[in-house]
A and B are shown apart, each in its own frame.
Chain A
Amino acid sequence: MGLELEPLFQAWSCFRRRKFRQCSDLCAQLLEGPPGGQEADSEYSVFQAAWSLKTRALTEMVYVDEIDMDEEGIAEVILDENAIAQVARPGTSLKLPGTSQGGGPSPAVRPVTQSGRPITGFVRPSTQSGRPSTMEQAIKTPRTALTARPITSASGRYARLGTASMLTNPDGPFINLSRLNLSKYAQKPKLAKALFEYIFHHENDVKNALDLAALATEHAQFKDWWWKVQIGKCYYRLGLYREAEKQFKSALKQQDMVDTVLYLAKVYLRLDQPVTALNLFKQGLDRFPGEVTLICGIARIYEEMNNISSAAEYYKDVLKQDNTHVEAIACIGSNHFYSDQPEIALRFYRRLLQMGVYNCQLFNNLGLCCFYAQQYDMTLSSFERALFLAENEEETADVWYNLGHVAVGIGDLNLAYQCFKLTLVNNNDYAEAYNNLAVLEMRKGHIEQARALLQTASSLAPHMYEPHFNFAILSEKVGDLQRSYTAAQKSEEAFPGHVDTQQLIKQLKQHFAML
């Protein structure tokens, strides 16, 4: 095969086929050659073209959509000066969980996360972190086996990401940012955009990226919405949300774009203004009807605000537009599961399975749905598969925990006991397993052990009402009314609507009155 393609054309073609490694190698060869062959007066040169192409290829290798990146570290939470009111009105803030108006399920039915939200059906970057209120609490927050510490600061993490991507180049970084004359590049829009993305995504050097974007937008006489969005992205990463909002708004005025709407909504969410974000999404939908990402954004906000029924409506809308949307299917499925319709949930999860989702979590959910839908033949084999597919100990622990549930359901308490023990072997932070073990111990009459287990559970997960309530019951049975009362109060704090807790407190108060 002696036919030789022009190297630049070949690199360009590789880039289009997403063969970035090959593309960057070809460009490197071009760049190594003498920069001759360019006409003196021409503003075009092969050298520039290859440089720009390599920049783009390197960026694409590590590109992650900025909209999906969301992590809030301690530093961001503590030094958050954007809060408008100390106590927000109900329904206007994401920080106050439990202000449910949409008739979501109670915590007795659907477990809640640490921040007090019902558990969702789809893990997204922002669903896992709670918002601790003080630094002390943040540091003391029970850690899981996976994360030893809460994330200290998002900016620190980005810096580490940057160094990691640099390791892939043995000869050091492709572009030495400190030697770059940014103002020179800012005047060449064709190079500047690729360069910006490289600095932002590949090097994760927000400060330099911002400098470049600021110069470039000036050069473009503030008429290029793209640069405004990029400045907004930089501001967002730097934590300057108000400034980011200004940039995004200005960009939206120039040109309606889905991405800009999503970025702006993200800013509003960070500023804890979910209602504004909702309105923005709805305006965006007027402009881009049927845009899946926008509808999905609305559904997520409703879900976070505990308005489960609206969230489900919007997830259904998502499916009308895109019926292969995994997140929507999973969320509707889990919603059905928790509203006591395991058969319907089963159908959603089965759909996911048919679509080729093949992981531990799915089989875990299938197993549970099968159990509650009384399809016992499939239950154990589903769990067996889930165990087989479990990638880490956390997942294994989840499966064993659920198996323990099934065992309780069929009345095999010995098996249940061992399942919960196995859960703790795999993940010794599993507060729910501690609680359930305690209940089993209580049945066996081992009161002291039950007590110790309940205390462990409540210290691991103060947001759960069950350990507190069980502890109250236990103490009351033993006759330790004082301790029972304090525990019952904690339980009420975690779940104000729990009828049994209220009855217990009433009963205890009567006791105290009699004394």
Chain B
Amino acid sequence: MSLFKARDWWSTILGEKEEFDLGCLCVADVDNSGSGQDKIIVGSYMGYLRIFNPHPVKPGDEVQPEDLLLEVQLREPILQVEVGKFVSGTEGLHLAVLHCRKLCVYAVSGTLGNVEHGNQYQIKLMYEHNLQRTACNMTYGPFGGVKGRDLICIQSMDGMLMLFEQESYAFGRFLPGFLLPGPLTYSSRTDSFITVSSCRQVESYKYQVLAFATDADERQETEQQKLSSGKRLAVDWVLNIGEQALDICVVSFNQAVSSVFVLGERNFFCLKDNGQIRFMKKLDYNPSCFIPYCSVKEGTINTLIANHSKMLNVYQDVTLKWATQLPYIPVSIKVANLQDLKGVIVTLSDDGHLQCSYLGTDPSLFQAPKVDSREINYEEFDAEMKKLQKIIKEATKTQDILPKSEKHRDVIVTAEVSPDLDAESQAIDSEVKAESVPSVTVKITIQSRVTAQKPNLAVCVQAPLAVTCDQFVFDDLEPDSSETVMLSVFLKGNCSPSELEGNCLVSYNRPTELNPEGIPKVAECNFSLPLRLICFPAQPSKAANHKITIDTNKPPISFVTIFPDFVDPSEDDQTNVLGFQFLTGSKTTLLASKTSQRYRIQSDQLEDLWLITKQLKLRLEEHFKKQNCKDFACTFSGSIPLQEYFELIDQHFELRLNAEKFRELLSERAVQFRAIERRLLTRFKDKTPAPLQHLDTLLEGTFREVIALADAAEENQANVFRAFTKLKSATHLVIMLISLWQKLSADQVAILEATFLPLAEDTQELGWEETVDAAISYLLRTCLSKSSKEQALTLGSQLCMPKDTSRLKKNITLFCDRLAKGGRLSLSTDSATQQAVVMPGGCTTIPESDLEERTVIPGSTATLPSHGQMAKQKSKPALSEDAAEEAEKP
């Protein structure tokens, strides 16, 4: 991350698909021109050796052909190039080229032509050494303090230091504990070689020690250059830096003391001559190469460090002085004097970009991509805005998204329930203890007029009913095609369902021009299941606990006509009595009065009456409809069986209380369990383990308790579900009786149903009791209220589980009373729904059962907060301030 980029002075690209690494770049006045001008020498792994003398007329110029002084292809890969006084008898600079198995020293010379491009350069091989081992890198210097000449030390891949005294091979030494080669350098002040070993230590070996160690096994050495020595080399000093190093450099500038610089993989070290850390810096990037180049301020040394995020940082000791961007990741970096320009930064990338650059304040032009913005036409935008505002307003007014009209459905789903039960029952895993559980086949057909992508059919029946398969996934439907599936419905749970209905839903995507992914759409259809699925004819029983009587205004119909599936027409002796045996075991009897226009339904359980009553009413209505008799009506004149109903509520509520108890116990045990765990943990962590003191037994016991409690809670949950199903059946019955009793209209019945049967599921946190209680008390306060005083009562804002059901019972009784006294159910003034609205987000739900119109208190109109208040609440800006800056570090 930098503001600036390195300014290009001269750059070129070398070869094609050539590889370069650290040693491949060298900067020196290799042709001994004496002008003090450096040449750039580059060798590649492909064996090309090139020498450049860049002299652009102005910065950033094209490469001139005469800039390239020399280009030769050698037969072996060039691992490293160095320039030094390598030839005996002369102090002139020569070029040493390291190949895998050879070291060559060349003299570079130039013949001046009349014009600049007439200059000729050539190299001449002075001497070469063949190496017994694969070379890795080399260093040079006046080993042993010789004056006026440089000796070469080559490190091989297997850890041997081979020393050459110019034209002759001196000796070879193995480094102890060697695994992989590290960077190698020579420090002339201490006359020692410094390297970083595989043990992640900086190690320094005195040249003297290396040289003396030869004596011990000189005989071996003379025989074979390659054999290793038995004697260990004594290390001068060792510093454990704990990481591998990329490069190592020894510098001494006049003002500053001599230091060893080590560029590690994660840190940058500056060491004293004796191997102590002078300073170190933790790098927050991956460095690639470095060079300490000069000392600007006394006692400090400036270093260039390049990294793998294409940055070049200039440090003065540890302080970042400058950061600049490079166009590539350099593998080698040097500082050169070129064409009277001092301190040019020469960088080489591993694919052959060679650049001479200097620092400057050229901004690194980061062009933010353009945002896709259109030409603004204000009138059009205004019109569109108005249109959208209107749509939004409409949408906010009607809370529900209204279903589209049925006329032009793209996909139609139909369900057909077969009239007969399956010959062979398809029921699986049924918990019902009856001898045979019947099943009925439902055939579902999907017809599509358009292309429907990813159609997905879900079939859903209320538990305890179940289907053999509830999910179907089809391939994309072509226009005017159809799919048919068959499935069976059966009774799974061991209790009677509260309704005999099912629902199937197809979801699909309809692609449009703008949206090829498709707009998600659904189609649904309901189907009703036969009564025979859950009960079968049985002997009627005379006595029963619960009886209800339905009056009609038409003479009684023979059961043979309306219950043909339950009555055997051959034995028509008792056509006015019919017995139903539920699969779950209970019995219900239906009686038709011979004289009056009445029907009686009786059973031992209240909830069992419901399905039969419903069937009776439905079938009667159907029958009279067939006969074109429109004024048929049922009525109910008895008292609503509230007492029995309340018993069911109590049963359900008690189970809920049990569940609450189980939950508390469970959390108590869990806390205990964690406490024991914590104790155990401290015991185990201790260095001197204390006896466990039966903590393990306690842990085991608590664990068992937790499991047992969880099992019990699960069982209780199943019971709650069963109780709720019964309660739902009974509620349906009560609703029906009330509506027959008061002859309520269809929309009043809808309100009644919404009140008593909330769509929300019955859960521990938000159960049936409190939801219904809230709904009833709302009705009591609004349309059924007696005085305005009652209307003013505000409701508790949060629904929670009541302590007992007395309030609910009282309210239901009151509700029936008010209805009996002529109360009318209506919600005409407000549009909001009765349902508790589950707010998204956290786990608690916030009911919206209070309605806005109701809470206006006479006399208090000003509910607007003062303006100052408003500003206060707003001045809390921007949570996202915080979310800022995850960007990588510079």
Binding site for B on A (CB under 8 A): 1, 3-6, 8-9, 12-13, 16-18, 39, 41-42, 44, 46, 48-49, 52-53, 56, 65, 78-79, 81, 108-109, 111, 113, 119-123, 135-136, 140, 142, 189-191, 193-194, 224-226, 229, 240, 255-259, 262, 288-293, 320-327, 330, 334, 337-338, 351-352, 354-359, 361-362, 364-365, 368, 372, 381, 384-385, 388, 394-395, 398-399, 401-402, 405, 408-409, 414, 418, 428-430, 432, 435-436, 439, 442-443, 445-449, 451-452, 455-456, 459-460, 466, 469-470, 473-474, 477-480, 483, 500
Contact = CB atoms under 8 A, between A and B. Distances in A.
Given A135-B674, A439-B870, A325 B286 contact: no
Contact of A449 (B45, B319, B852, B879): B852
Nearest to A402: B878
B864 A120 contact: no
Contacts of A9: 79, 100, 134, 136, 157
A17 B667 contact: no
Contact of B889 (A113, A327, A466, A473): A327
A405 B851 contact: no
- In the complex, which of the residues A123, A140, A448 has the most CB atoms of chain B within 10 Å of its own CB atom? A448
Contact of A17 (B136, B181, B288): B288
A244 to B, nearest CB: 12
A446 B872 CA distance: 20
Given A355-B1, A452-B848, A385 B876 contact: no
A111 B878 contact: yes
B883 A395 contact: yes
Interface string B867-884: 001101111111111111
A122 B350 contact: no
Contacts of B3: 351, 354-355
A216 to B, nearest CB: 11
B855 A448 contact: yes
Interface string B808-830: 00000000000000000000000
B881 A368 contact: yes
Given A448-B851, A479-B860, 6 more contacts: A13-B19, A81-B685, A323-B320, A418-B392, A448-B855, A473-B869
B240 A226 contact: yes
B862 interface: yes
17 contacts: A9-B136, A12-B181, A44-B159, A119-B881, A123-B885, A140-B842, A193-B200, A262-B282, A292-B282, A326-B889, A362-B885, A365-B881, A395-B883, A402-B878, A408-B874, A452-B846, A500-B872
Nearest to A4: B77
Interface stretch (B116-124, B362-370, B451-459): B362-370
B855 A123 contact: no
Contact of A79 (B282, B371, B681): B681
Contacts, number: 332
A129 B205 CA distance: 51
In the complex, the 8 A-B pairs of residues with the closest C-beta atoms, listed nearest first: A398-B880, A119-B882, A324-B890, A330-B885, A190-B198, A361-B884, A226-B242, A355-B1
B303 to A, nearest CB: 14
B837 to A, nearest CB: 8
A75 to B, nearest CB: 10
Contacts of B364: 356
Contact of A108 (B246, B667, B876, B883): B876
Contact of B199 (A190, A292, A293, A455): A190
A5 B318 contact: no
B857 interface: yes
A409 to B, nearest CB: 8
A478 B860 contact: yes
Main secondary structure of the interface of B (DSSP, over half): loop
Interface stretch (B273-281, B469-477, B756-764): B273-281
Contacts of B302: none
Interface of B: 1-3, 17, 19, 21-22, 45-47, 75-77, 79, 100, 134, 136, 157-159, 177-181, 197-200, 228, 240, 242, 244, 246, 266-267, 277, 279-282, 284, 286, 288, 308, 317-320, 323, 331, 350, 363-364, 366, 368, 371-373, 389, 392, 667, 670-671, 674, 677-678, 681-682, 685, 794, 797-798, 837, 839-844, 846, 848, 850-852, 855, 857, 860, 862-865, 869-870, 872-890
A323 B316 CA distance: 13
Given A258-B282, A293-B284, A123 B884 contact: yes
Contacts of B888: 326
A126 to B, nearest CB: 14
Contacts of A361: 880, 883-886
A388 B372 CA distance: 9
A297 to B, nearest CB: 11
A398 B3 CA distance: 28
A12 B846 contact: no
Contacts of B875: 108-109
Contact of B277 (A109, A123, A256, A402): A256
A352 B879 contact: no
A376 B69 CA distance: 59
A399 B883 CA distance: 11
Contacts of A325: 889-890
B846 A257 contact: no
Contact of B282 (A39, A120, A259): A259
A357 B794 CA distance: 54
Given A111-B882, A429-B841, A432-B879, A5 B1 contact: no
A67 B143 CA distance: 42
Contacts of A288: 279-281, 318
Contacts of B887: 326, 352, 357, 359, 362
Contacts of B682: 81
A358 B45 contact: no
Nearest to A333: B884
B217 to A, nearest CB: 14
A123 B872 contact: no
B527 to A, nearest CB: 35
A478 B877 contact: no
Given A190-B179, A193-B199, A259-B282, A3 B886 contact: no
Contacts of B852: 446-449
Nearest to A189: B199
B319 A224 contact: no
Given A79-B678, A190-B198, A385 B865 contact: no
A369 B885 CA distance: 15
A44 B197 CA distance: 13
A73 B53 CA distance: 61
Given A52-B198, A439-B870, A6 B863 contact: no
B846 A358 contact: no
Given A17-B288, A291-B318, A401 B878 contact: yes
A429 B843 CA distance: 11
A455 B246 CA distance: 60
A456 B838 CA distance: 10
Given A356-B1, A401-B878, A459 B240 contact: no
B873 A436 contact: yes
B384 to A, nearest CB: 14
A81 B1 contact: no
Given A358-B368, A432-B879, A478-B855, A445 B863 contact: yes
A164 B25 CA distance: 40
A354 B366 contact: yes
A65 B798 CA distance: 49
Nearest to B320: A322
A209 B685 CA distance: 18
Contacts of B862: 477
